[in-house]
Amino acid sequence: MPFLTYPLALLAAAAIPALAAIYILRNRYRRRQVSSLMLWEFAVLSREGGAKVNKLQLPLVFFLELLALALLVTAATGPRWQLPAHARPLVVIFDDSASMLASSGGAANAPRARAAVALDDLLKSRKFLSIRLVLAGPKPRVLASAVVTAPEVRESLGQWTCQAPDAALDAAIALANDLGGPQSQLLVLTDHAPPGTEFSGDRIQWWAFGTAQPNLAFVNATRTTHGDADRVLLEVANFSATASASAAYRITSGSNLLRSATLNLEPRARQRLILNLPANTPAIEAVLADDALAADNRVTLLPAVRKRIRVQNSLEDVALRTLVDKALDSTGLRSSLSAAPELILHNARVTPAGTNAWGFRILADTNNATSHTGPFIVDTAHPLARGLALDGVVWTTGAGQGTNQFGLPIVTAGNTPLLTTQTDALGREQVTMHLLPDLSTFTATPNWPILFWNLLTWRARETPGVMESNYRLGSEVAIRSLTNTVQLLLPGGASRTLTKSAEEFILEPETPGLYTVVAGVSRWQFAVNLLSPEESDLNTAKTGKWGEWEKPEETRREYASVLWLFVLGALVVMVSHLFLVTHSKGRV
Amino acid sequence: MNPPFRESLLSGEALGQRYALAVPQTALAGATGNQLGRRAGTSIDFQDYREYQPGDDLRTIDWNVFARTDRLTIKLFREEVNPHLDLLLDASRSMDLEATPKAAALLRLAALLATAAENARCTHATWLASDGFLRVANDTLLPSAWEGFNFASRQPLDEAFAILPPRLRRLGIRVLVSDLMWPVDPLAILRRLADGAAAVFVVQLLSQADTEPPEHGNVQLVDSESGEEREIFVDATVAAQYRDALARHRESWDTACRQTGARFVPLVAEKLDTSLPALEEAQLLVPA
């Protein structure tokens, strides 16, 4: 693409029409009456013989003067031409968030389509050393390897699906900087203005193609267990800044219509819908009427996961066993012992043998009992310690266990471990608790059932299957399986094989919909919904361009001057003009 | 009549007072008039003697000579003749070419010649060549009294001869004033003019627009008589070709005039006053 150092010099181009006007006025046919045409017969015959093509009768020197003038005007602008050796790499950052598909006038008006067209135009008009593509979803991702031509870029844009619940543009820009190097030029294609009042991104151009428009959306959707029933909560928001809206919604389960009504929402208001469903109700689907953004008009909710743990309570002390049973029952996560236990509570100093169950032992040695009132040191990051509040608690333990001989401490009082855990060679967790219930207030506080809720939840998390059945788009889904590979069936019908690299499969679904995991004979399902208020709010969408890739002096370095070419051309034309004038016997 | 035309006639009449028509000897023959002819006649001016021949007027016998020589001798007296000028004016459209003084110069020249003829005691008749040759109204009077000039004819001069030829006086002086701008064999015209004429003068009256081609550039030429149009680009070459064509045209008339004993005098309308010596040189006019 050419670059003009002094574009104002183009004003001199006004001389071109002036020259044309002079010639046209000079060469227009002047009417002249003559006594007779008899003396002009020679000229008439000559014209009729072969000069009819030149109707305007503009002499050749006119075109030469025109060409010389155009060349001189172009030379005056200081033209520069980008040389291939000076081309710089380009890194394009694509906003992959769902709002890039928002459009009330067809897909062609969506920011994604408009951005793709603008990028295509840019690549046709300017050459880059290489082009890297970065997809800005919740985490930035590099699309393919470096490409050079516009068709290659178009081919890669198939992966730009705009389904993400968020676009981490800052992280994507940082990745693009690393990817392209200090000489690279960055182009951000999004639907909103850059952050801050003044955009001063160095080497970055920020192109936005969004349009502010009203939108109704599901912004929250949960389905939780509530006793034996499921409770469904849906939250609908009106993201219009000025207009009230009526949101017609339908909630179905298969072919059964569960509810259909209309919500009247004030500008920027939200409204919640709560449904209580029998636990055996299959997946439900809630749908809003079509509007600017289609992705946030539909949610699918599967029945909540009910994982319960088979617990064998082998504690010897009756009072303590009773206390534990009450705590276990209060969690609602304990199931009957229909099969081998998954958790054994006991008082033995050794690990129960011959079982894959986790162990939870309570050591109540009454010798040299010591009461601890704090301060307690709690590893709050551990699943067992979540929600524990030990201030004011009296925790009494027996003597003799002074050193940490039972693994990683979770709760300690000074250097005295009170609650520890250890993973044995089979991957089982063995939790040890030092506690004299009779001399402690711990069992009388809410910490007691919380501890067992944490214990059962932690254990349930380690059982095969998915932890939850409904996820927001962008959140991690953890799947536990006893097999090393699982088959993941995607909402579109495609499938992927996942290979275990750690204890569990971690995946980040990229599109909303219903997913199925097949692990041997086991099948689990989970649903993913957009539920992203930031993406559904289209009021901040904007169209515009911000930033420059380089300063003019940098551009001059990148572009080589071709002024000499135009001056040389003008000289050649002027010499030709002179030759014609002097050798044409007056026919000029 | 058109006031400018009247002014031209008056101007030519005033200018003609300074000249007289140069009457050639051949013109001094013809009907009885007020000038002495070159032949014997009935005037009182003695010319010669000769022997009586039967049929001679007995009144011319010089009886004194008979008494001395006993021979009948008669006295010959100079003939009295009245020389005549036939002025043939081209009244075609081209003689009133727009933006040129051709028509005015034509009338001025005609008035001059007629007045000069008066000064030379010649009778004169003025013919307008339009759709045939027609006498100018009051042409026997002074030019300032002439009427009926209308330069609207599309007929070339040879066509006018064919339609209605002029009744030209024998042994008269015939002056054709025209721009000669039509394609014709000059000899055909000149032979008709020279037949029975004492002298024939062809005055080609052109304007500067006729003698000089237009300036360089594109020109749409319009034939003043036929209305035909031509678009050409005039450059130095074309201008030179035009001048060559005009020179050849004049040369053809000059040659034809010499072949028929006529005189060819080219004049330029804009330079009429300074061109009058050419008429003297051609022995058409003499100072009065």
Supply the CATH number for residue B97's domain: 3.40.50
Residue B113 sits in the same domain as residue B248? yes
Q: Which of A541, A539, A550, A549 is nearest to A190 (CA)?
A: A541
Residue B159 sits in the same domain as residue B251? yes
Q: Is B242's Cβ below 8 Å from some Cβ in A?
A: yes
Are the CB atoms for B232 and B207 separated by under 8 Å?
no
Q: Which of A30, A38, A39 sits opposite B217 (nearest CB)?
A: A30
B27, pLDDT greater than 60: no
Distance CA B60, CA B62 (A): 6
Instruction: Tell whether the torsion through CA atoms of A46, A48, A50 and A54 is positive or negative.
Output: positive
Residue B45 sits in the same domain as residue B73? yes
B250: exposed, middle or buried (C-beta count within 10 Å: 0-12, 13-18, 19+)? middle
Are the CB atoms for B223 and A37 separated by under 8 Å?
yes
Interface contacts A/B by beta carbons within 8 Å: 96
Residue B62 sits in the same domain as residue B7? no
A573: exposed, middle or buried (C-beta count within 10 Å: 0-12, 13-18, 19+)? buried
Q: Is B179's Cβ below 8 Å from some Cβ in A?
A: yes
Distance CA B98, CA A402 (A): 135
Residue B99 sits in the same domain as residue B46? no
Residue B131 sits in the same domain as residue B187? yes
Which residues from A are below 8 Å from B99, CB to CB? 33
Distance CA B86, CA A33 (A): 31
Amino acid occupying residue B246: L
Region of residue A404 (phi > 0: left; psi between -120 and 50: alpha; otherwise: beta)? beta
Q: Which of B126, B131, B242, B260 is nearest to B186 (CA)?
A: B260
A579 to chain B, closest Cα gap in Å: 17
Distance CA B179, CA B159 (A): 15
Distance CA A141, CA A119 (A): 19
B5, pLDDT greater than 90: no
Give, to the nearest 10 degrees, the angle between helix B3-16 and helix B102-119.
40
Task: Give residues with Cβ within 8 angstroms of A35, minimum separation 6.
Answer: B94, B97, B179, B181, B206, B207, B210, B224, B225
The confidence score (pLDDT) of residue A54 equals: 43
Strand pairing partners for A118? none
Strand pairing partners for B220? A31, B231
Q: Tell me, what's the ipTM? A: 0.80
Q: Which of A30, A35, A47 sits opposite B220 (nearest CB)?
A: A30
Helix (H) or strand (E) holding A408: strand A408-413
The confidence score (pLDDT) of residue A584 equals: 65
pLDDT tier at B37, thresholds 50, 70, 90: low
Q: Is B54's Cβ below 8 Å from some Cβ in A?
A: no
Are the CB atoms for A206 and A199 separated by under 8 Å?
yes
The token pair at B6 is 């009247």
A494: exposed, middle or buried (C-beta count within 10 Å: 0-12, 13-18, 19+)? exposed
Interstrand relation of A505-507 and A513-519 (parallel, antiparallel or unpaired): unpaired
Which residues from B are below 8 Å from A39, CB to CB? 181, 242, 245-246, 249
The domains of chain A, with CATH numbers, are 2-81 (no CATH), 89-212+540-549 (3.40.50.410), 216-306 (2.60.40.10), 309-461 (3.40.50), 465-529 (2.60.40.1930)
Q: Is B210's Cβ below 8 Å from some Cβ in A?
A: yes
| Positions of chain A with pLDDT lower than 70, given as ranges | 1-3, 43-58, 82-86, 201, 351-355, 399-405, 551-558, 584-588
Residue B46 sits in the same domain as residue B163? no
Residue B71 sits in the same domain as residue B137? no
Partner-chain contact B217 A38, CB within 8 Å? no
Domain that holds residue B151: 3-28+83-287
The confidence score (pLDDT) of residue A480 equals: 86
Partner-chain contact A586 B209, CB within 8 Å? no
Residue B63 sits in the same domain as residue B131? no
Partner-chain contact B236 A587, CB within 8 Å? yes
Distance CA A421, CA A400 (A): 18
Which residues from A are below 8 Å from B218, CB to CB? 27-30, 57
The confidence score (pLDDT) of residue A240 equals: 83
Helix (H) or strand (E) holding A565: helix A563-583
Interstrand relation of B285-287 and B19-21 (parallel, antiparallel or unpaired): antiparallel
Task: Give residues with Cβ within 8 angstroms of A135, minimum separation 6.
Answer: A94, A96, A141, A142, A143, A159, A160, A172
Partner-chain contact A36 B232, CB within 8 Å? no
Q: Which of A538, A529, A561, A5 is nearest to A284 (CA)?
A: A529
The confidence score (pLDDT) of residue A157 equals: 86
Partner-chain contact B218 A27, CB within 8 Å? yes
Distance CA B77, CA B31 (A): 15
Residue B277 sits in the same domain as residue B164? yes
A53 to chain B, closest Cα gap in Å: 13
The token pair at A337 is 């012992």
Which residues from B are below 8 Å from A27, CB to CB? 217-218
Task: Give residues with Cβ within 8 angstroms of A487, minimum separation 6.
Answer: A495, A496, A497, A498, A517, A518, A519
Which backbone phi and psi does A88 adopt, to 5 degrees?
Answer: -115, 155
The confidence score (pLDDT) of residue A394 equals: 92
Which of B63, B81, B99 is the endpoint of a domain? B81
Residue B71 sits in the same domain as residue B157? no
Q: Is B219's Cβ below 8 Å from some Cβ in A?
A: yes
Which residues from B are below 8 Å from A44, CB to CB? 230, 232
Distance CA A135, CA A510 (A): 12
Q: Which of A31, A32, A38 sits opposite B181 (nearest CB)?
A: A38
Which residues from B are below 8 Å from A41, CB to CB? 245
Task: Quote the DSSP letter at residue B141.
Answer: S
Q: Which of residues 183-202 of B touch A (CB under 8 A)?
A: 183
The confidence score (pLDDT) of residue A52 equals: 43
A451: exposed, middle or buried (C-beta count within 10 Å: 0-12, 13-18, 19+)? buried
Q: Is B99's Cβ below 8 Å from some Cβ in A?
A: yes
Partner-chain contact A32 B221, CB within 8 Å? yes
How does pLDDT run across B76-112, given as a tens digit for each residue? 776 656 788 899 999 999 998 888 999 999 999 999 9
Which residues from B are below 8 Å from A35, CB to CB? 94, 97, 179, 181, 206-207, 210, 224-225
DSSP conformation letters of A350-379: SPPSS---EEEEEE---TT-EEE-SPEEE-
The token pair at B271 is 């330079």
Q: Residue holding tokens 């058109």?
A: B2
DSSP conformation letters of A73-114: HHHHT-EEEE-GGG---EEEEEE-BGGGG--SS-GGGSHHHH
Residue B52 sits in the same domain as residue B174? no
The token pair at A346 is 């006991």
Domains of chain B: total? 2
Which residues from A are below 8 Å from B236, CB to CB? 585-587
The confidence score (pLDDT) of residue B155 equals: 83
Instruction: Tell whether the torsion through CA atoms of A18, A23, A26 and A30 is positive or negative.
Output: negative
Partner-chain contact B224 A44, CB within 8 Å? no
Q: What is the mean pLDDT of residues B112-135?
A: 89
Instruction: Tell whether the torsion through CA atoms of A44, A45, A48 and A53 is positive or negative.
Output: negative
Strand pairing partners for A270? A237
- The residue in chain A having the minimum alpha-carbon distance to the alpha carbon of residue B226 is A36
Partner-chain contact B209 A27, CB within 8 Å? no
The confidence score (pLDDT) of residue B230 equals: 85
Task: Give residues with Cβ within 8 angstroms of A514, minimum separation 6.
Answer: A283, A300, A302, A491, A525, A526, A527, A528
Which residues from B are below 8 Å from A30, CB to CB? 214, 217-220
Task: Determine which of B155, B184, B218 to mutate to test the interface with A (most A C-beta atoms within 10 Å).
Answer: B218
The confidence score (pLDDT) of residue A557 equals: 66
